[in-house]
Every structure is written in C-alpha cells, then in structure tokens.
Structure 1
Amino acid sequence: MVQPPVIAVVGPTGSGKSDLAVNLALELDGEVINADAMQFYRGMDIGTAKITPAERKGVPHHLLDILDVTEEASVSDFQQQARSIVSDIHARGKRAILAGGSGLYVRAALDVLEFPGTDPVLRQRLEAEFDEAGQDALLARLREVDPVSAGRVSDARRIIRALEVHELTGRPFSSFMPQREYFQPAVQIGLSVDRDVLRERLAQRVHNMVDQGLLGEVLRLDTAGLRGGKTAPRALGYAQFLKVLDGGSTVAEAAEDTIVATRQFARRQLTWFRADPRIAWLDWQAPDLAARAVALSR
C-alpha cells in the first residue's frame, strides 16, 4: 500500500503552526508530532506556548513532555522517534502531521540525514582542552580540518561537536549536513507572516506569558534542576527569567530581553525555512487557511 506523504507545518514562532496542525488533523483524521525542541520538556509550558490539552481538541499529540529539564535534547534520538511514530500512524490508516519551528529537527524527520555518533570520553577531553586553551585555539584547529564548519559555528558546544565528529569519523562535520532529499514522501506547508504584525504579536505573547506566571514556572523548574541541563536553560524566556531569580534583572527587563530574543529567533527561522524551495507558503491570516492547507495535503 502506498503511504500518504508526511505533512509538515513550519514557519516562525507565533505564526499559528500548532492550531493549523490540529485543524488539519481534524479534517484528515491525523495525529500531530511535535517538532519544537523546547516543547519536549516537561513543565516548560508557559514559556514555550505549549499547546494545551483543550487546544488539542482531542487530537493525539506525540513527543510533547518527553524529557526532564536536566536531560539533553538529541536530534538523532528525535529522528528515530519521529520516524517510528510516523510509521505507526500510517500503519493505522491515519495521517502524520509534523508541527514545529525547530528547523534541524524538521529536516531530521523529513530528509535523508545521517548523524555521526558520539564518544563521551573524547567529548570530555575536548571540553577540557577548550577550558584550558580557549575558543580561539580550538576554532583554529577546526579551520584546519573543516573550514566550512569553522565558518558556521560560533559557540563552544558546536566547535567541540565538530571536532569530535572529525576525530571519530575522519570526515568533516560539514559533510553530514542534510541534503534536500526526502526520506519518504512529504508535503511542507509554511506559514507566511506579515513581519510587522508578527513583531507586535510576539511582544504581546511574551507579556501574556508573564501574566500567566512565567516567573513562577521558571522558579519551579530551577528547583527541579533547570540550570543543570544543557538544552533547556537556553530556551527563550527561561534564560532571561533565571536572571530575575538571581537578582540581575527585573521582570520588565527580562520581558523586554525575551521579546528582543524571540524576534531575532523568528527572523532566523524565516531565513532557514525560506531557503527550502520545497515549502508551499500560505498566508498565516488567510480566512481559508485550513481549507487551502487541506487541499495541499491531499
């Protein structure tokens, strides 16, 4: 039996991906798979604008609330989990709908993409070398073996990862970058936004998060070990509001910093997704958005 294409709803944060995915699922007898890396985390609800049980309207959602804040999100693990869930959904005669703005995670689920392994001992050695020699020294070493990656990375974690992959495989990390080739049939629907409207919407969304109790959520997660995680404490809003707990920022300052960071993130998301010619773009505020998305998905 020919399997239907996976549907992916993509676009910048705040553009309505979750709502459209639910509407598609209701129309097409589908189930939704989360592809927002920060929504993997239990308890990170307000700050990630995680879709609530009521907003899911009875549609099954997968890969929400699967990690503690102390655990590290893994694109490789996500790829295996997402593809297994897609197969299960399709085997039951339903439609699989991927929804999220974490670009690499979307690519990992949809595209032919190989992930090199890891070596904790090697990683620890490289981290120690980084601490001793500094970022410039390790970045210079990366330029010698993988100039492409060296031109793309700018933080410690990515520099160390690129060096680790080269030592493990003998191949430059850049050689593992995804090609635009679907792993299985897929349809990508992008939500095209009015940037000025989105800017204001994102600001209002952050203020709403504050009103809903974002600071209290961050405090609870801090008690649960948020700072000890490698991925979760860098999330938009959480990093800024941890500073409030430390006395280094006011709530108003943290909210403004979060707005700025969220707008910057939305621009990066748009740049990422606009580079993929396979995405069919629909106006995020079109009155017939759901109907047009359904037509593309059929």
Structure 2
Amino acid sequence: MDPAPLVAVVGATATGKSDLAIALAQHLGGEIVNADALQLYRGMDIGTAKVPPRERLGIPHHQLDVLAVTEEASVAAYQREARAAIAGIRERGRVPILVGGSGLYVRAALDDIEFPPTDPAVRGRIEQRGHRIGTRALHAELARIDPDSAGIIGEGDLRRIVRALEVGELTGRPYTAFLPRPVHHDPSTVQIGLRLERAGLHERISLRVHRMVEQGLLAEVRGLREQGLDQGRTARRAIGYEQALAVLDGTMDCGAAIESTVVGTRRLVRKQDTWFRRDPRVRWIDASQPASQLREAALDQIALARAN
C-alpha cells in the first residue's frame, strides 16, 4: 500500500491557503505544518494573518509560535524541525499538510536541499580581504578555487562571492554542490498552488490590511515592542510591523502606513508568484471558487498526482 501523500498548499499571500489546508486536513485526517517564515514568531498573529486557535477546528498545527521576536529565523533549523514534524505526523498515521508562502522554507521542507554551515569569523575575514583587494580580485580567487561557482556569480556580487569562499573553506566542497535541485525529498509529495487573478488579489490584500488595523495591529506591535521587537533583525522588518512601528514612533501616520503595507504586500505577492510559478511540479487551481469546490478541486489534483 502506498504511503499517504505529503500535501503542500502553496501560493501568494491572501489566496486562502490556510483555510484550504484546514479543510484538507479535516477530510484526509491530517495535521498542518507551517511554512510561513513570519508565523514562526510568537505574538506575530494579526499582522501575519495567523489562524486563531479557535478557528483551527482541532487540527494540530506545527512550526507555529516557535521563535521569540528577538530571534533570527534560520531556514536550516526550520528544515530540521519541519521534517521532524512531518515524520511525527506520519508515525501517527496521519497526513502531513505543509502550508505557506515563504518559497525558500517550502523548498527546504520539500526538496533535496542541503544547507552549508556558516561561520561569522570566516565570513568576516573574507569580507575584509575583499574590501582590501577589491571585489574583482576576490572573484578571480574564487575562479581559481571553484570555477563552476565563479561562473554563476557576477564579478561585482561581493556577498555571494564571500559566501561561496566561506562554504568552500568550511566544507571543502564547491558552493554549487549546495544549490537547490527541484527533486522532492519525499516522492509522495503533491504541491497544490492557489492562483487568483491580479485585480481580485489586490482587493483581498487591501481588505486584509484594513482588517488587521481594525483587529488591533498597533496594540499587538506595542506589546511586541515590550518583548524586544526593535532588536529583532527579521521580525521588525516584516511588512506591516515595520509600518506599525513607524506609526508608534510618530514618523508615519496611519493612512500612510496602511498604503505602504498594501504596496509592500503587493510587491511580496509578485515575488511569491514568480517563485512558485517557475516550479512545474505545482498543480494550480483557481482560488476564487467557493470553499467546498476549492477543496474538491484540490482533492482531485491529489488523486491525479497519486495515480501518475
């Protein structure tokens, strides 16, 4: 008997991924694994559109509320924890359902990706050498050591040149050996993508941002500031939170903050759309359908994928 599939619900912000994931979990006997980088943070609820516990319908959720706002999210750590959660769900005889719009986190959970180690001291030393001898000379050094990696990194891209040299020094392997490959770690994986025409998606984004303000985003951010939000390198820069901090500081009025958040979210959506649409393994369905039809369309795609 084939193992239960690993289902992933992906796509842009505001397409209804969380609601569909819960509906699928109810039908399939599943548990949900979060793949939204910002929903990893405790207390970042309103601004990330985190599903409130009472609306999760008793479905267990994993990789939610696991970081303090002062911590920096690590995709390598997420990969370990998400895969452990998926394995635990399988051991309980349940169906794992991954849901989120953070493309790299989705790929970390699903794909054959290995994340090389980092060492700030090594990186700092290489950066200093780059500033001393120049970016082009550092690129030439990379070309001698790791020509394949140098061939895909521009001569002026100091950050990636430094990273490639750091990886080589720490692992003895070329940087290209760690580049992601579009191969599912679990061959039973089925990716369901939600798509929505741009005008409808923009309307949803505007409504969502206004609703967040009405639900108390400023109060949420005020409370998170007391927990150290200003020191959080990742959390404080999140769309909506950065604008709310500006409102609390008096450097932006609420109307301007709302508009900036809407514009920033639309920009994020374009990036998400580009990221997921270039993956031919995603099975796309129309997110504008009524909830029951959307669930059935997703189940049909899962069945088709399993039959092939």
Asked whether the two chains share a fold, i.e. TM above 0.5, the reply is yes
1:166 Cα deviation after fit: 4.0
Aligned to 2:59: 59
- Report the Cα distance in structure 2 between the residues aligned to 1:154 and 1:43, rounded to whole angstroms: 36
Counterpart residue type for residue 176 of structure 1: F
- 2:262 maps to 1:274: no
SS of match in other structure, 1:219:
helix
Describe how 1:27-106 pairs up with structure 2 within 5 A.
27-106=27-106
1:152 Cα deviation after fit: 12
- 2:230 maps to 1:227: yes
- Report the Cα distance in structure 2 between the residues aligned to 1:110 and 1:72, rounded to whole angstroms: 22
- Report the Cα distance in structure 2 between the residues aligned to 1:237 and 1:166, rounded to whole angstroms: 38
Tell me which moved more, 70-79 or 222-231: 222-231
1:85 Cα deviation after fit: 1.1
Describe how 1:178-257 pairs up with structure 2 within 5 A.
178-184=180-186, 185-257=188-260
1:164 Cα deviation after fit: 3.2
SS of match in other structure, 1:80:
helix
Segments of structure 2 that go 5 or more residues without pairing to the other structure are 143-148, 304-308
Q: 1:57 to 1:244 in 2, by over 3 A?
A: same
Q: Quick check: 2:138–2:161 contact (8 Å CA) kept in 1? A: no
- Render the CA deviation track for 1:79-115: whole Å, top value 9, x for unaligned: 1111111111111111000000001111111111111
Q: 1:196 to 1:5 in 2, by over 3 A?
A: same
Counterpart residue type for residue 185 of structure 2: F
Q: Quick check: 1:22–1:32 contact (8 Å CA) kept in 2? A: yes
Q: 1:168 to 1:200 in 2, by over 3 A?
A: same
| TM-score, normalization by structure 2 | 0.86
1:224 Cα deviation after fit: 1.1
Aligned to 1:290: 295
Aligned to 1:115: 115
Q: 1:153 to 1:60 in 2, by over 3 A?
A: farther
1:173 Cα deviation after fit: 3.8
- Report the Cα distance in structure 2 between the residues aligned to 1:97 and 1:152, rounded to whole angstroms: 41
Q: 1:246 to 1:171 in 2, by over 3 A?
A: farther
Q: Quick check: 2:139–2:155 contact (8 Å CA) kept in 1? A: no
Counterpart residue type for residue 243 of structure 2: Q
Segments of structure 1 that go 5 or more residues without pairing to the other structure are none
Root-mean-square deviation (Å): 2.7
Q: Quick check: 2:9–2:17 contact (8 Å CA) kept in 1? A: yes
Q: Quick check: 1:126–1:164 contact (8 Å CA) kept in 2? A: yes
Q: 1:228 to 1:258 in 2, by over 3 A?
A: same
Larger Rg: 2
Aligned to 2:179: 177
Q: 1:105 to 1:85 in 2, by over 3 A?
A: same
Q: 1:139 to 1:190 in 2, by over 3 A?
A: farther
